[in-house]
Every structure is written in C-alpha cells, then in structure tokens.
Amino acid sequence: MYWISVTAVGAFVYFYLKGRKKNEHGASKGTTTERKENKGAAAKAPRSPEEMRNLLDQEPDPWKRHLIYISCLDQVYKKRSEDQKWRHLARDYAQAYVKEFPDLKPAVFENLGEAPKMVPAFKQLAILFEEDQEYEKAVDICENAMVHGLVDGTKTGYEGRMERLSKKLKAGL
C-alpha cells in the first residue's frame, strides 16, 4: 500500500514539474525573468545531496519546498541500507521536513485537499527511528503526524504503529 502512495506522489511531482516546464516555455506565462526564476527551484529532481541542499536553500515557496523535500527523501530513503551516508541524509531531510511541516502544511493541504493525507516523511522518519531502535523518537513522530491529521497508509495507521513501538519500548528491545 505504501509503495502505491509513494508512486502516486512521484507521479504527481513528475507531472506537476512537467506541466510547469511547458508553461514556462509558453508565450503567455509571465516575463522571461519570471520564467527563469521559477525554472530553477523545481524544474528537475536533484541528483546529488549537494544539489538537494542547494534547491532547498534557494526555494522560498512552501509548496515547491514540499515537492523538493519529497523528491529528496524518496531518493535517499531508498538507499538507506546501502550506506550510512544515505541513512544519515534520509534522517536529516526527514527531520528537517517534519520540523518545517507546520509552515508547509497550508500549502500542502491547499494543493492536495483537506482530507487526511499521507506525507511520507513522517512515516519514513518513524521507520528510521525504529530501525535505529530509537522507539521514543518514533512514537513522538507518530504523535506529531496524528496532530496534523496525517495517515501512514497502513491498516492500523499511526495508532497501530505507536502501539507496536510502545511494546518494543516496554520490552526493552
């Protein structure tokens, strides 16, 4: 179920960026200067951690920041077991996103609708903390996600995830 959500977000980002690129090249959309300014932030998926950081540092728009974060996280989270570098990057980006989410939330809800949504960064960060046996931090992330009205795309949701994490915490695993 989770892969479907990630795939859907990836497809959405792809078509959103593709549509922006077409609009930027159209004669009726803004001035040349405006098109050049808009092109840099979300025109393509970043290829390296440095490029990811540069895009985030340069982009003030909350919706575009959300898209960049999701793209960055998708890339590094998949590689988390290959190398500790990727694992640390995944944690760093996910933590930064979760910290910034209150500022991004209005733009995310505006563009995706008001119904509870799956925002992968919360689930990914909870999983990373669980894999690192930092169960208290994982529980905090789940609580944070529930406060924002988010879902994790699983049958039991964040509530079930918290129960499982609490059991591990009590068992001292």
Q: Which of 40, 42, 99 is nearest to 65 (CA)?
A: 42
pTM: 0.70
CATH class as words, domain 2-171: mainly alpha
Greater confidence (59 vs 35) lies with: 59
DSSP 3-state of 80? coil
Quote the pLDDT of residue 46: 55
What digits encode the pLDDT tens for the residues 45-61? 556 777 878 888 899 99
* Widest CA span in the chain: 64
Quote the pLDDT of residue 107: 92
What digits encode the pLDDT tens for the residues 99-150? 999 999 999 999 988 766 778 899 999 999 999 999 999 999 999 999 998 9
